[in-house]
Chains A and B, each alone.
Chain A
Amino acid sequence: MRVMALTLLLLIPLLVQARVEIHQFDDAAQEARYKQLIEELRCLVCQNQNLADSNAELAQDMRRITYEMVRRGETNEQIIDYMVSRYGDFVLYRPPLQRSTLMLWVGPFLILGTAVLVLVLFIRRRSTEQSQPLAAEDQKRARQLLDD
């Protein structure tokens, strides 16, 4: 009885099936292009993942479209245009440099520049501040404190 129960339990993992998308490509270049595209396109459902990482159903369909377009021999630009014309620039993980994204691209450098400027000014001012010689009375007190 026990053995049978154990055997049945051991059979459970067989019910689990991992689903892997299998794609056929004409050549390695096509496959590389497909992989690069799904890395760079964003999944609209789970927005912090790209198509390659996402398991959302929409992402699966977007991967399928990408795959079909690669197989048909469309260029990367054509495929990216296809996605952008439907979902906007948001679908790109690497946003294009344009007016609305200007701050995104130059912002970090502006902040870095400001920080360096402030640092330089701060250091300069500190080095020009001459340390005043202590008054005789203060020196006496300091010595007294140190001697104690």
Chain B
Amino acid sequence: MKARFLIPLVLFLALAALLGVGLRLDPRDVPSVLIDKQASEFSLPDLFDPEKRVESAAMKGRVWMVNVWGTWCPECWREHDFLLYLARVEKFPIIGIDWRDDRDEALKFLNDKGNPFLAVGMDPESDAIMDLGVYGAPETFLIDKQGVIRKKHKGAMTLPVWRDEFKPLIEQLEKS
């Protein structure tokens, strides 16, 4: 046993590698169980006119996105300009779910900054967002023509995420 003195070193390196991998994982990242599952339907009061409803069923046959946001969420402010770009330049349909928000604040927010959403439903008691397995904002879901959730992004939507993960998939889904 000549190399015996190497044992502690090997053990140390193994432990360092294990902890190194552990550091890179995000323990807060809970994988969604809803990918490739039928998105549950929602029907929420319209932010602009609470008498009306915003319904997911109206989007059948289109490739679209649901964006869960709230004026209380800093990352939602950060991603807003990019959502505007998606709506105005890419002409991509986005339905907003305004989660546990103050209606006046939300209206002011969209008036001041611009509205990237086709429609916005209010979800003051987390009914719709719980069905989507949402636990933070913003979260964005990509839903295909059959109403199946194809992708979910947690955190602000950015150009790299859109370009690398969403755009190619959307082009594929549009064709089918």
Residues on A lying within 8 angstroms of B by beta carbon are 44-45, 47, 57-58, 61-62, 64-65, 84-88, 90
Contact = CB atoms under 8 A, between A and B. Distances in A.
Interface stretch (B3-11, B26-34, B56-64, B156-164): B26-34
Interface in B80-113: 100
A47 B27 contact: yes
A90 B30 contact: yes
B32 A88 contact: yes
Interface in B14-42: 27-28, 30-34
A57 B137 CA distance: 12
Contact of B130 (A45, A47, A61, A90): A61
Contacts of A57: 100, 126
B133 A88 contact: yes
Contact of A62 (B27, B33, B130): B130
A45 B126 contact: no
B125 interface: yes
B33 A85 contact: yes
B39 to A, nearest CB: 12
Nearest to B33: A88
Contacts of A62: 126, 130
11 contacts: A45-B135, A45-B136, A61-B126, A62-B126, A64-B125, A84-B33, A86-B130, A86-B132, A87-B133, A88-B32, A88-B33
A17 to B, nearest CB: 20
Interface residues of B, number: 16
B125 A88 contact: no
Nearest to B126: A61
Nearest to B132: A86
Nearest to A62: B130
A88 B130 contact: no
Given A61-B126, A62-B130, 10 more contacts: A44-B30, A45-B135, A58-B126, A58-B130, A58-B135, A61-B125, A62-B126, A84-B33, A87-B30, A88-B30
